């Protein structure tokens, strides 16, 4: 019985570690596309639109 409990705990820890590794890998490997947003200096806060603090997209 004790072996079964420790095996389940080990399997659970392995599952959590694998899930965390996958999340970190996807966060590092993915490059999201640019999305439409208000450019810096084009403030429209009165209409509920906000600009990105520092956009990584090139200006068009």
Query: What pLDDT is recorded for position 36?
Result: 66
User: Would you say residue 55 lies in a domain?
Assistant: no
Confidence at 9, pLDDT banded by 50, 70, 90: very high
Cβ–Cβ < 8 Å for 49, 38: yes
* Mean pLDDT (whole number) for 2-31: 94
Distance CA 39, CA 58 (A): 10
How many structural domains are present in the chain? 1
pTM: 0.52
User: Would you say residue 13 lies in a domain?
Assistant: yes
Cβ–Cβ < 8 Å for 34, 57: yes
What residue numbers bound the domain in which 30 lies? 2-47
User: Would you say residue 33 lies in a domain?
Assistant: yes
User: Would you say residue 56 lies in a domain?
Assistant: no
């Amino acid at each position: 019985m004790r072996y079964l409990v420790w095996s389940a705990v080990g399997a659970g820890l392995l599952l959590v570690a694998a899930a965390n590794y996958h999340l970190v890998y996807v966060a590092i490997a993915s490059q999201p596309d640019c999305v439409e947003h208000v450019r810096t200096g084009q403030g429209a806060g009165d209409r509920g639109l906000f600009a990105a603090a520092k956009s990584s997209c090139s200006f068009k």
